Amino acid sequence: MSKFGPYSDKSLQTTIPFETHLEGLREQTKTMLLSLRDFVTSLGNNVIEEVRPHRIVYAKSLTFRTFLDIQPKNESLTISVRKVRTEPPTVHIAKTEQELEDIKYQIAEAYKTIR
């Protein structure tokens, strides 16, 4: 069960370390993922990070499922940003630091607007 679910039981969860997502990535992609993680966790003290087998998910609180979903790939990061629960997320693929910087504004806006 995910920590975003209504019946979170930590004793039943297998903890996946964030670092497992860094394995096998190009150095530039690792740097981008770590930079993005630092940025997202700096948005507020209520940001919740959940590391899943193939992605990292961020939520603002337990009542809102997610506002950011990151899927690390060897050459890029697939980033899904959700501003409203009732609409599908906007999906971006970042291959460079500049592309990542362009997406950070949308992530900050999603964090601010979710309820």
State yes or no: pLDDT of 12 exceeds 50: no
Top pLDDT among 13 and 47 is at 47
Give the model's confidence band at 6: pLDDT under 50 very low, under 70 low, under 90 confident, else very high.
very low
Which ranges of the chain does DSSP label H, i.e. alpha helix?
A: 27-41, 97-113
Mean pLDDT (whole number) for 23-45: 93
Fold exhibited by the domain 10-113: Aspartate Aminotransferase, domain 1 (3.90.1150)
Query: For the chain, what is the mean pLDDT?
Result: 86
Q: How many residues does the chain have?
A: 115
pLDDT digits (tens, 9 = 90+) for 44-88: 988 999 899 899 999 987 665 789 999 999 899 999 999 888 889
Tell me how far CA of residue 84 lies from CA of 59, 64, 66, 115, in angstroms.
Answer: 12, 10, 10, 8
